[in-house]
Amino acid sequence: MFITLEGPEGSGKSMQIRDLADFVREQGFEVLTTREPGGTFIGDQIREVIMRMDNTMMHPNTEILLFCAARAQIVTEVIRPNLEKGVVVISDRYGDSTLAYQGYGHGLDLQILKDILKFATGGLKPDLTLLLDLEVDEGLKRKIKGGSEWNRLDAQKVEFHKRVRAGYKEMALAEPERWKVINASNEPQKVQQDIRAVILKKLESIKR
């Protein structure tokens, strides 16, 4: 099973994924967690280029191609091989981030982005995507307060982040069988409980 966590900045994906992985292991599954961009030796180098604060001249077209280069590497090197072995793979972001950030955020053509994503991933889509949703202002405040990595994309204008969040919500509405929306404005323990409730139903369907 391939599970992805998506959401606007400060939604707590990186924090929640660790506890989620432990929970899935407790259900008797082997688990691998990863993140985007990165997760491989090559992907981590691409991540540094994408996120550097001084790369202010980067064009959105360059951005999408760099993200998908890293994604092609992790799909081929990590995600597919582990899925084929029956491992549950949980990723902090995946292709939907490209649609949200470069599509809805930067305004690039969604169909072109979908074609690029299909090429980069070989058509691999998640079985389940959790959208950790919260207000943009609250998410950015959390990220600053938490002292986590502040990168070039974080530094975009608030209006950009609002378009990203709206894009996520639109995608979730369009594909409700794959997407499950989690209220990330709740306390972390409550968010984890809600995530586990969704995951447990999905895992039970596998065991049947």
Q: What's the structural domain count of the chain?
A: 1
Report the C-alpha gap between 108 and 156 in whole angstroms: 16
Parallel, antiparallel or unpaired: strands 31-35 and 128-133: unpaired
CATH number of 149's domain = 3.40.50.300
96-130 pLDDT, tens digit each: 999 999 999 999 999 999 999 999 999 999 999 99
* DSSP label at residue 56: T
43-83 pLDDT, tens digit each: 999 999 988 888 889 898 999 999 999 999 999 999 999 99
152-208 pLDDT, tens digit each: 666 677 899 999 999 999 999 999 999 999 999 999 999 999 999 999 988 887 765
Please report how many Cα atoms fall inside a 13 Å half-sphere around the Cα of residue 69, on the Cβ side.
15
Which pLDDT score is estimated for 87?
A: 97
Which residue range(s) make up the domain with 9? Answer: 2-207
